[in-house]
Structure 1
Amino acid sequence: MIRILSLSTLFPSPERPTFGKFVANQMAGVASRGDVEVTMVNPIGIPPWPLSLRRRYSKLRHTPAETTLEGMRILHPQFTTIPKIGGDGNPGRIAEAIMPLARRLHAEQPFDIVDAQFFFPDGPAAARIAADLGVPLTIKARGSDIHYWGGRPRALEQMLGAARQADRLLAVSCALRSDMARLGMAKDKIAVHYTGLDRSRFKVMDRAAARALVSAIPELGVWTRGPLIVTPGSLIQIKGQRLVIEALPELEEATLAIAGTGEDEQALRAHAKELGVADRVQFLGHVSHDVLPQLFSAANVVALPSEREGLANVWIEAMACGAPLVIPDIGGAVEVVTNPGAGRIAVREPHAIASAIREILKNQPDQDAVAQNVARFCWETNAAEIVEIWRALAHREGALPAD
């Protein structure tokens, strides 16, 4: 049995049940094997008073100190965060908040590995804890933690220090591995660890049947006239929903369903109205994981012109449901869209996005053929790969007997 202390600032809690769900899926796959005991630490950032009284933080303040999920013990210690200006200092504040807890748990029953699920702020915080406990360290990079924080000198300095200390680094795509090396991380230390997929949930459903189902759900009521474009994700600028709306005037028969919530919703609604396409754009709000596979199966195209990604879970989930992608050449895009049957790589520009969507609609690929492109992805494989890395480190450190 390997004992893992894993740190993730993005992780579900009772107040944010879908926050970092993909991390929970990965770690639940690990825990379900029976040969790894996972203790998750999900630090909750709360700003000083009076900012802590704001609605988003007042809710988070009531997060229980401990919960369970899929057989895992989840600890939710709180740390002080400074919104907008204090991000570079979060690793130190997280480590300070967690250290007494980590020491106590390690004294009760030693951990074999300290793990970080994101490179920033998780990585440098986990590095301090691993050094204090005297155990190996692994850190995973997922995209924005490298592309955004790697552009901030103070954050990058902490990331590079953690990378030097780490026994193994992981990246969600080959492209991200190269980006990490360009920042100065040792490439031979970085393993590519692709995302997984819940195959019991995300699978092909006949498009016509899926459309009938999503149009009948009262809280969605998705329009079913003409080709359906689906754009999922938080409604924030870097996700690029605006670009898909701007492509819509060139796609006269198509309708666009935007799945997600966020600060840009009103601006996006106003922009659709300005362009005269508001009657063909539907804002679905939050779409649950129970309904998302049906929505993807109903789609002719899933378009996600994000500014940055590592290798997005939603790419894999959409394709598993038979929906071809239109995405930019970011992160691991070319590792997923490897042929025209998987979709198109398009520049983040409305005309290019519209052209790519038109090409797909003119020669709509078979749903099963689209899904075949992601046949290699599953959470069982994902779990087996990371456990193999951890077990090798634990054997090397003498925590486990040799086979």
Structure 2
Amino acid sequence: MARLSSLATATADILPFPAQAERRAAAPLRLLTFSTLYPNAAQPNHGIFVENRLRHLVASGAATSTVIAPVPWFPSRDARFGDWARCAAAPAEEMRYGLRVLHPRYAAPPRLGMYTGPWALLRAGRSALAQLLAEGERFDAIDAHYLYPDGVAATWLAREAGLPVVITARGSDTSHLPHFAGPRRLIRTALRDADALIAVSAGLAKGLIALGAAPGKVTVLRNGVDLDGFTPPMDRDALRMKLGLSGPVILSVGHLIERKGHHHVIGALAELPGATLLVAGEGPERRALAALAERLGVAGRVHLLGARPHDELAKLYGAADALVLASTREGWANVMLESMACGTPVVAGPAWGSREAISAPEAGLVLDEVGPGPIAQALRQILADPPARRATRAHAERFGWGETTRGQAELFAGLLAMRRGAA
């Protein structure tokens, strides 16, 4: 890890002498955001929750940020290769909402990538950071997202650069990846080496502590929702007519992978005559889901919409009668708040964060277990006696970004103050 020893010298001015610190007390924090979970021009919805949180922090004036968002290397942009082709099409660098974003490539070979990822990401991050420092950029701290492999690599990069690092854990990085021996060992080391940890739900915070994180290091900062971008439709009947919808409409949003549980929702539709299911998302399970709908005799009522631009989702939420989140592994699923902000209640599985977001009857229902039967039963209950849409919206208004933005600013500022005091 000594190959970037020069980075520590290049970043030495981030720890000023007391007089300098006093003069710069009001200066924005200079963050280096590091994560593979970040959108790019070819994958505009990928990790958008990381970008949204960062945008609100920067807009507050409390921080500036440059983003290193590594992308897996792939040799072809041919659409036949799906997500891999989109990785190849990602630009090497771009500006998004006024933020400079670098996309260095890293090796992510199938099956081996889980185990080689931290070292590949370190190499990509090291090169990108060296470029930024050579251009004169300076940073106060690293803002990393996802424990593995991103957070592990970020702790190594932070050590080389002489910077503090804060890692945000987001869900399966805490609930699933630690089941593998190699990742678990490195995750626990990262929990020890990180200067601070952010959990996006109280349940996730408990999961971090169970993995060995010091309780005093963990801060709960829930994701918020854009209350201006996600609002109830002005004329819901007209919107439904424009979209060609009638009768009960169920919505399921997320990547088409097994753990998102779309198959459970299709199974539930077989028990809900007359209802229509909209599935917004793309992924490797698309054919299997279409085949399941055919097998159950509901293909005519299941519409696989593919990936939809984030700003189009508000129309789908507003037109639906209920959103179903059938995943059992989430830290804090943003789709819950987005749906409620549009006035649409949610049926969710017992994943981390579900009971924190759906904490009142007008928000929806949380299942004890996920499956077609329980989902269908919950949907029948909501469709028979739906909450007032204005009440569902009012519940979502408790989850704006303000508190999370303040919490981030205070966490980073306190961390830097402690380091300066110890210097």
With normalisation by structure 1, the TM-score equals 0.92
Calculate percent identity across the aligned residue pairs: 35
Instruction: State the distance in 2 between where 1:257 and 1:211 align.
Output: 17
Q: How many residues align?
A: 394
Residues 260 and 55 of structure 1: is their aligned pair in 2 closer, same or farther, counting only changes over 3 Å? closer
- 2:46 aligned with 1:27, yes or no? no
- 2:284 aligned with 1:263, yes or no? yes
Residue of structure 2 equivalent to 1:70 = 97
Residue of structure 1 equivalent to 2:294 = 273
Matches within 5 A, 1:155-166: 155-166=183-194
Q: CA deviation at 1:301?
A: 0.9
SS at match of 2:147: coil
SS at match of 2:397: coil
Q: 1:96 corresponds to which letter in structure 2?
A: R
Q: Which of 140, 143, 150 is the equivalent residue of 2:178?
A: 150
Residue of structure 1 equivalent to 2:378 = 356
Q: Which of 167, 171, 185 is the equivalent residue of 1:139?
A: 167
Residue of structure 2 equivalent to 1:115 = 143
Residue of structure 2 equivalent to 1:392 = 414
Q: Which of 85, 93, 110 is the equivalent residue of 2:112?
A: 85
Q: Deviations over 1:358-399 (max 9, x none)?
A: 111111100111122222222333222211111111122229
- Asked if structure 1 preserves the Cα contact closer than 8 Å seen for 2:74 and 2:87, the reply is no
SS at match of 2:270: helix
Instruction: State the distance in 2 between where 1:180 and 1:212 align.
Output: 46
Instruction: State the distance in 2 between where 1:260 and 1:63 align.
Output: 19
Residues 175 and 14 of structure 1: is their aligned pair in 2 closer, same or farther, counting only changes over 3 Å? same
Q: Deviations over 1:80-136 (max 9, x none)?
A: 111222212211111122213324534634311112111111101110111011121
- 2:153 aligned with 1:125, yes or no? yes
Q: CA deviation at 1:248?
A: 1.6
Instruction: State the distance in 2 between where 1:93 and 1:175 align.
Output: 31
Q: CA deviation at 1:59?
A: 4.7
Q: CA deviation at 1:5?
A: 0.8
- Asked if structure 2 preserves the Cα contact closer than 8 Å seen for 1:31 and 1:37, the reply is yes
Residues 273 and 56 of structure 1: is their aligned pair in 2 closer, same or farther, counting only changes over 3 Å? closer
- Asked if structure 2 preserves the Cα contact closer than 8 Å seen for 1:103 and 1:133, the reply is no
Structure 2: gaps (5+ residues): 1-27
Residue of structure 2 equivalent to 1:7 = 34
- Asked if structure 1 preserves the Cα contact closer than 8 Å seen for 2:317 and 2:339, the reply is yes
Higher helix proportion: 2
Q: CA deviation at 1:214?
A: 4.8
Q: CA deviation at 1:274?
A: 1.5
Residue of structure 1 equivalent to 2:394 = 372
Structure 1: gaps (5+ residues): none
Residues 147 and 48 of structure 1: is their aligned pair in 2 closer, same or farther, counting only changes over 3 Å? farther
- Asked if structure 2 preserves the Cα contact closer than 8 Å seen for 1:112 and 1:399, the reply is no
Residue of structure 2 equivalent to 1:210 = 236
SS at match of 1:398: helix
- Asked if structure 1 preserves the Cα contact closer than 8 Å seen for 2:102 and 2:128, the reply is no
- Asked if structure 2 preserves the Cα contact closer than 8 Å seen for 1:344 and 1:356, the reply is yes
With normalisation by structure 2, the TM-score equals 0.87
Residues 59 and 143 of structure 1: is their aligned pair in 2 closer, same or farther, counting only changes over 3 Å? closer
